[in-house]
Copies of this chain bind each other. A is one copy, B any other.
Amino acid sequence: MTFELTILGSNSATPAYGRNQTSQVLNINEKLYLIDCGEGTQHQLLKYNIKSSRIKYIFISHLHGDHYLGLIGLISSMHLIGRKEELTLFGPPELKEIIDLHLRYSDTKLRYPLIFNAVQPFEEQVILENEDVSVRSFPLDHRIPCTGFRFDERPRLAKINIQAVKAHAVPTECLSLLKQGIDCVSDDGKVYKSSEFTYPPPSTRSYAFCSDTLDSGKYHDSIKGVSLLYHEATFLNDLLLRAAETYHTTALQAGIIAEKVLAKKLLIGHFSARYRNLEPMVDECRSVFQNSFLALEGTTYSID
C-alpha cells in the first residue's frame, strides 16, 4: 500500500527564497490527505502536477494564516473546475465561520458536498477511520489552539501459510479469521491457532504531523514510536528563547523529541524566513537524532 508524503511548502510565517508556507499531501493507498493549506497551496499542486480532484480529506492544524490562507482558494477552485465528490475537512471549530463568511459574500454555492468536522483543540481524539487508516488529532502547545495529526495504517492481515493449511486440512471458512489473527474453531470443535497457520503481518506504518508548537512535552505520548515524524523546527537552537516566546521549537529540540518518542525518522520544517541555508538546521538535528531530514518542497518521502 502506498504511504508517502509530498511537501508543498515548509516555510514559516512568510514565503521566502521561493519556499512556500506550510502544506503537505499524504498519499495513503492512492487517496490524498492534504495537511495544512498555506496561501498558494493550489499553485503548488499545479506546479507539482498533483490533481486536486484526488484530495479526499483536508486537515487544518490551526488558524494562523501561514497554515490555512490557501484553503478558501482551493475549495473555490475545486468548485470552479467542476468537482462533484464529497470533500471532508477537519479543522478548528472557528474555521467553519470563516469559510461560510466567504461563501456568503462571494455568493458561492459549492457544487460538491463539503463536510466540516470540528476538531476539539484540547483533547486527543480519533477523527477519522476508514479502510486504510485511523487518524487522531492531539493538542499541541501554541499561541492559539493548535492540533497535531497522527495517521496510523490499519493493521494489515496476516499472510496464510499455505503449506501448513494444506497439511492440516484447515477448513476454508477459517481462513478469514486466521488472517485477522483470530483463532478458529471448526464445526467439529477443532481449534486452529492463527499463529500456527499464518506468517505475522508486516508491522503497520504511521505518520505524525506537529505543525507549530512549543516543546512542552504534553503531546509526546501521542507521537510515540511513529514511523515518520514531521516536526516544526522554526529556529536554530541559539534562538531558544525566541522559540519559547513565540511558542515554537528549535532544530535541536526537534531532534531530542524524535529521539525521546522513539520515532524512526524525522522530517523538520516550518523554517524561519531568516534562514536562507537550511543545512545547519538538519545538522543540529542529526547531532542528537541521526535519521533527520529537511522537508523540502516538491520532495516525496516514503514512509517505511
Contacts and interface: CB of A to CB of B under 8 A. Distances in A.
Interface string A1-42: 000000000000111100010000000000000000001101
Nearest to A12: B80
Contact of A42 (B15, B94, B101): B15
B46 A77 contact: no
Interface stretch (A62-70, A174-182, A276-284): A62-70
Contact of A14 (B16, B40, B42, B94): B42
Given A39-B73, A40-B40, A70-B39, A105 B63 contact: yes
Interface string A81-103: 10000000000101001100110
Please state the number of chain copies in the assembly: 2
Which of A13, A70, A94, A106 has its CB near the most chain B CB atoms (within 10 A)?
A: A106
A234 to B, nearest CB: 13
A43 interface: yes
Nearest to A93: B105
A23 to B, nearest CB: 13
A72 interface: yes
A144 interface: yes
Given A39-B39, A63-B106, A65-B73, 8 more contacts: A13-B77, A15-B43, A15-B77, A16-B46, A43-B43, A66-B76, A94-B105, A106-B144
Interface of A: 13-16, 20, 39-40, 42-43, 46, 63-66, 69-70, 72-73, 76-77, 80-81, 92, 94, 97-98, 101-102, 105-107, 143-144
14 contacts: A14-B42, A14-B80, A15-B42, A39-B43, A39-B69, A39-B73, A40-B43, A64-B106, A65-B76, A65-B102, A69-B73, A69-B76, A94-B105, A98-B105
